[in-house]
Amino acid sequence: MRFVSIALVTALGLSLTACGSTTANRTIYSERQPVVTRSHFVLDVNTAGSDSLSDGELGRLAGWLDALELGYGDRVAIDDPGYNAGPSARSAVETLVAQKGLLISDVAPVTEGHVPSGAMRIVVSRSTAAVPGCPDWSHRSHTDFQARTSENYGCGVNSTLTAMIADPEDLVRGQSRNGEDQAEASKAIRAYRDKAKQAGEIK
């Protein structure tokens, strides 16, 4: 088993270059913005001499996914540049991932090193969000008479946002409607209301 982690840092909104500087922030915009870090975890599974994965390799993969505590927001991809894996091997991986409530991504990210001959690489991408430098009480705007916002301005709101968001990637690119109209989007609400109404009638 081998883990390779690659961190890609993406800042949301304003640049963080001003953070920690002596320049007074006289705007109402916070310099303390969420930073999303993406890490890749990889596992090479042996597919040599078989169209599918052996029971041992399946068990190793299942244990690895359990150890990572795979869940919502994670992305799983299969990297097989040498076409070593057959349809049955891919299907076995898809089944394990589906048990965690996830689907296999269409495109695998670039990871360190090459995929060994007779193996395919499983890549789990995970993003985390944090607000660097928070809290910061180094300056008090009401005592230095510079008519600026405090260094801690925005820490409370943005730190709470990063703690609450289920998928940190949403801070970077958000969610798309994927062509769904409002009627499709409100299906769950209508189903809930209809069920509650029927329960009231039974009573």
Q: Give the residue, 60 or 147, on which the prediction is more confident.
A: 60
Any bridge partners for residue 119, and if so which?
A: 46
Q: What is the DSSP string of 48-78?
A: TT-SS--HHHHHHHHHHHHHHT--TT-EEEE
Most confident of 1-5, 37-41, 79-83: 37-41
At residue 17, the pLDDT reads 39
| Strand pairing class (8-11; 119-130) | unpaired
pLDDT of residue 140: 63
Tokens of 152: 């801690």
- Tokens representing 118 are 């007779």
Q: Which single residue is written with the structure tokens 């299907």?
A: 91
Least confident of 85-89, 95-99, 146-150: 146-150
Domain ranges of the chain: 8-202
Q: What are phi and psi of 85, to 5 degrees?
A: -95, 140
Nearest 5 degrees, angle CA 37-CA 43-CA 49? 155
| 30, 117, 155, 158 from 140: Cα distances, Å | 15, 60, 14, 19
Task: Give tens-digit pLDDT for 161-191.
Answer: 999 998 898 998 877 766 556 666 677 788 8
Question: b/e for 150-188, b at 16 or more Cβ within 10 A?
Answer: bbbbbbeebbeebeebeebbebeeeeeeeeeeeeeeeee
